[in-house]
Amino acid sequence: MTNPNPPAGGQPTSAVRAQTLPAQRLVNRVVRGLLRTPGVSGLVGKRMLTMYVVGRKSGRHYAIPLAYTRRDETLLVGTQFAWVRNLRTGEPVDIRLAGKRRSADVQVVADEAGVVELLAFMARDNHRFAKFNMIGFDQRGNPSSNDLHLAWAAGGRVAVLTPR
């Protein structure tokens, strides 16, 4: 696993990028519950939503709590995990945002330049997102270009969601 606190140049020590917490399933279950709870969802959900994804091959249903960043009228969700391959541009997904379940149109950004640009935007907006995705910052406070490119190379994608 890559060092979550890369050295000054933002150079990671390994090519492995995505990380999960030791008790990720339990954490996800608790967060999903909080995001469904009236009153609490407004506090917890200021930067979190739940995305409902159906596996393309397995047909399994997944409810994934995710950090998001607002950009104009859209929500940006970035990840390096394989579940993102189940999303297709033009095929809507369901999300739970601010305690309410609704549909959202999806545009999947997979090209290197687009992913790097959007991950940089997200990292600047949410430093916890950056840390979880092992995106360091240079001395001027900008996301590490090397880390952004490594995140893309490790399968990073960004889903641009437009809630209905």
In a domain, 16, yes or no: no
pLDDT in tens, the chain (164 residues): 333 444 344 444 344 456 665 666 666 666 667 666 666 656 665 788 999 999 989 999 988 888 899 999 999 999 988 889 999 999 999 998 888 899 999 999 999 999 999 999 999 999 989 998 899 999 999 999 999 999 999 999 999 999 99
In a domain, 15, yes or no: no
Are 123 and 143 spatial neighbours (Cβ–Cβ below 8 Å)?
yes
In a domain, 56, yes or no: yes
- Cα distance between residue 29 and residue 50, in whole Å: 11
In a domain, 54, yes or no: yes
CATH number of the CATH domain containing 152: 2.30.110.10
Q: Would you state the structure tokens that stand for residue 149, as one six-digit string?
A: 């490119």
In a domain, 11, yes or no: no
The one-character DSSP state at 42 is H
Could you give the 3-state DSSP secondary structure of residue 17?
A: coil
In a domain, 12, yes or no: no
Residue 54, strand partner residues:
61
The one-character DSSP state at 144 is P
Q: How many domains does the chain have?
A: 1
In a domain, 5, yes or no: no
List the domain range (segments joined by +) for residue 60: 24-163
